[in-house]
Amino acid sequence: SAVGRGPEVPFRSEAYRISATARGKELRLTLAPLGPGAAQHLVFRFGMSGSFRLCPAAELPRHAHLRFLTCESPPRALCFVDVRRFGSWRLGDAWQLDRGPCVVSEYQAFRQNVMKNLDDKAFDKPICEALLNQKFFNGIGNYLRAEILYRLKIPPFEKARTVLEALKDQEQTRRKKNSSLTLSKKLKQMRENPDLLELCHTVPMEVIATEKNLLDPDHSDNYAAFKNWLQCYLVPGMSSLRDHNGRTIWFQGEPGPMAPKGQRSRKTRAQPKADPEALTPEVTTRASKRRPKAAEKPPKSAEEVADGPRKGRTRGRKKATAAPAPSQPEVPVEAKRSRQTPARRGRGEA
């Protein structure tokens, strides 16, 4: 598209096949011609809002920055859609150099890469910030780090090296206990008592295994299922702080000794589950915002009105003299105020 920030793709073919390989937060597409010609590779990063969508070519979604057309009639388009344009693609098949092994597809290499580099300065930081370092935790993002730390009850601002060095002792204890166990029993124990690095693998796998039910924002039922899967991230009752990089981390309990100073932990308020059909926010006018405050005060009686002038907003008004008690019931003060409301405050009520 004209506003896409990625490079032009120099590939032309009447018919070709697209295959994909994922590694951490990157996705590599291979465009392979069905006839003569060389294949073209593209490596994508999704940013915060990037995704692929298959739709009719005549009904392209907004922000469809790269489009692959099918040869059927009418044609459809496989689109790389990115509303915020934080995502990107580049030509070639090389993964980014500063990304470590994938937490999903290269678990053993990922684990070894972390454990043998604990003296790296990246682990001087809080564990919540270290988990976003793609050099060691390739594939872990903001909602995943919250879910992983919550399940293990680890304070997000505990020092990363302190948390990870404890895994060495756990590994040795496990080996002694599991030396006589069968492989199936070892796996069962790992599932029942996982450590942090194991959860970096299994928690993303939970999402991948059920992605058809969880990750389709166009269907409110599926998005609701994803929200129900979350145990910590954006969940009412959880606390939140901004880390030293400005990213918000959700957690429960104490934040830990390395929490940023000068911040107060904010709790997400519990809200009743709303009807999906009633999720459209109401437009509130300035006048309608003021009305509830007035409604909180009960209307004054006729005796109170006669006893003395009303407080407030008396500048430039003549003093009212006490009038004899009317034969008709006194009109509530709210009704009187509504007649005095300037026209500009009443705009938009209809």
List average pLDDT for each run of 10 residues in the chain, which is 350 residues long. Answer: 84 90 94 93 90 91 89 91 89 93 96 96 98 97 97 97 90 68 64 88 87 55 76 95 96 96 75 39 41 47 44 46 47 47 46
Domain parsing of the chain, residue ranges: 16-91, 107-268
Cα dihedral 257, 258, 259, 262, rounded to 10, equals 100
Spatial strand order of the sheet with 266-267 comes to: 248-251, 239-242, 266-267
- pLDDT at position 14: 85
pTM for this entry? 0.69
The pLDDT of residue 72: 87
pLDDT at 336: 46
**Cis peptide bond N-terminal to 101, omega within 30:** no
Among 1.10.580.10, 3.40.50.1820, 3.30.950.10, 3.20.190.10, name the CATH number for the domain at 16-91: 3.20.190.10
* Alpha-carbon separation of residue 103 from 23, 25, 113, 154 (angstroms): 8, 10, 11, 20
CATH label, 107-268, candidates 3.40.718.10, 1.10.8.50, 3.40.50.1100, 3.40.640.10? 1.10.8.50
Which pLDDT belongs to residue 1? 83
